[in-house]
Amino acid sequence: MAEKIKIVNGGKVDTAGWKKIGKSFLITIIAAAIGFIADLTGLVDFGNLNSIAIVVLPWVANTLKVWLLPYESKA
């Protein structure tokens, strides 16, 4: 049996969408906290690249999550 795909129109967010937004937010907060603690403790010195690190660290954390943890794919 084929899996049903629900189309959500622009300007609306369903429960699954809110869950994805929440997960992304948590990953962003955790990555920013790790970067902040690493910079604060002297483990890493971002220097002039601090603003770039703030943008890149959540992407790295999300990439590692997808690469290392099991997940379901609908494709």
Q: Could you tell me the two tokens for 60?
A: 């790295």
Q: Compute the distance between CA of residue 9 and CA of residue 19 in angstroms, rounded to an integer.
A: 17
In a domain, 27, yes or no: yes
Q: What is the pLDDT of residue 39?
A: 84
Q: Is 53 domain-assigned?
A: yes
Q: Is residue 51 part of a domain?
A: yes
Q: Is residue 42 part of a domain?
A: yes
User: What is the extent of the structural domain holding 30?
Assistant: 23-68
Contact 2, 31 (CB under 8 A): no
The pLDDT value recorded for residue 13 is 75
Residue 13 lies in a domain: no
The number of C-alpha atoms within 13 Å of 34 and in the hemisphere containing its C-beta is 13
Distance of CA 55 to the CA centre of its chain: 11
Evaluate if residue 75 carries a pLDDT over 60. Answer: no
For the whole model, what pTM was predicted? 0.64
Residue type, 75: A
pLDDT, tens digit, 9 for 90 and up, residues 16-67: 778 888 888 888 888 888 888 888 898 888 888 877 887 888 888 878 877 8
Q: Is 38 a member of any domain?
A: yes
Q: 1: pLDDT confidence band, cut at 50, 70 and 90?
A: low
Report d(CA 55, CA 35) in Å as an integer.
11
Answer whether residue 1 is part of any domain. Answer: no
**What's the domain count of the chain?**
1
Q: Note the pLDDT of residue 74.
A: 61
